[in-house]
Amino acid sequence: MQGDCTIQAERLPIPELDARLFGARRLSALTDEELFARTGVRIAFTGRAGGVSEGPFSALNLGGHVGDDAQAVARNRTLLLEAMDAAHAPLVMANQVHGDRIVEVRASDAPSLEAVRALALAGADVLVVEVPQVAALLCFADCVPVIIVSPTGRFAVVHAGWRGAVAGVAGKAVQQLAERDEPSLGIEAAAAYNAYIGPHIHAGCFETGLDVRAQFVERFGPAVAPDGRHVDLARAVASDLEAAGLHAQRIVDAGVCTACHPDAYFSYRATGGTCGRHGAFAVLQKG
């Protein structure tokens, strides 16, 4: 069985994130082209550019809960799907609650999708999709977006706020994928996965109270707290992913701080709480 896992691992490229322009509106997103070529899984971390929203939500705001015009948000989501060649793919989103609840998409028929959407809107921070032509989207403005991809084409889109990071939400998503991929392999299945960490608030800008810092140090060790006031969310998430079985070389970080670049990404802290949301998007386009 270990040999099978090794063969699967070779099917995925070493992960990379590069900026690319998509669609007629030249929507900019970070993606992995080689991953798409090998698996049919299109991943994208969007930024602010390319949409129709205005003011503090300009332009590609994908969040419907921030005070933006609802029609503009709906149009932005449509533009994203069109740009990713997924205009006809049903979209699943979640009411993100800063926890570790996982909702799985196992079928694409209308009744199944209706039930899944109801579960996700009741509160979830991970969407696991194992069927083609169903798109998953979660929204962010400083929290850590994570996309985990299996050679089988299954994927997980993860929202890791600080509470979710401490709760091990990324590692739990890996475990859920591994259980669905090959129960007999257990945690070893994760060695075949790629994980992509999108733009988020970096340690230099993520100042916390002593109680929050203590929780991270207790869970992940002192390396996640570079000083007495800051926490490195990406290091914590990467540690969680490795503990769940991923290899370090299969975890890639976009390396972009949202708080340092509020012109390119939405940042709750940098804008005092009034802003839109960029997204972590994934869809399996080949079944």
**What percent of the chain is modeled with pLDDT above 70?**
95
Residue with tokens 């992940």: 220
Q: Which helix (H) or strand (E) holds 133?
A: none
Q: 89-98, 121-130, 175-184: lowest mean pLDDT where?
A: 175-184
The bridge status of strand 91-92 relative to strand 135-140 is parallel
DSSP 200: B
For residue 123, give every residue at least 6 positions away whose Cβ sits within 8 Å of its Cβ, in sequence order, or none: 94, 95, 96, 97, 99, 101
Average pLDDT for 92-105 = 98
What angle in degrees, to the nearest 10, is found between the helix axes of 233-243 and 210-220?
A: 30
pLDDT at 4 over 60: no
pLDDT in tens, 102-161: 999 999 999 999 999 999 999 999 999 999 999 999 999 999 999 999 999 999 999 999
Instruction: Note the pTM of the prediction, 2 decimals.
Output: 0.96
Rg (the chain; Cα; Å):
18
Determine the Cα–Cα distance for residues 13 and 36; give it in Å rounded to an integer: 10
Measuring CA to CA, how many Å separate 62 from each of 46, 48, 59, 77, 267?
A: 9, 9, 9, 6, 13
Answer yes or no: is pLDDT of 7 > 80.
no
Are 25 and 41 spatial neighbours (Cβ–Cβ below 8 Å)?
no
CATH of the domain at 90: 3.60.140.10
Q: How confident is the model at residue 184 (pLDDT cuts 50, 70, 90)?
A: low
**DSSP E strand stretches across the chain:** 18-22, 27-31, 41-46, 91-92, 102-105, 126-129, 135-140, 144-149, 155-160, 194-197, 251-253, 278-284
Number of H helices, E strands in the chain: 8, 12
- CB burial class (10 A; 0-12, 13-18, 19+) of residue 273? exposed
Would you say residue 219 has pLDDT above 80? yes
Q: 247, 39, 226, 262: which is closest to 278 by C-alpha?
A: 262
Nearest in space to 159 (alpha carbons), one of 75, 87, 103, 86? 103
Q: 22 by DSSP, 3-state: which?
A: strand
Strand 194-197 vs strand 144-149: parallel, antiparallel, or unpaired? antiparallel
What residue numbers bound the domain in which 148 lies? Answer: 2-284
From 9-23, 64-78, 96-110, 259-273, the region with the lowest mean pLDDT: 9-23
Number of domains composing the chain: 1
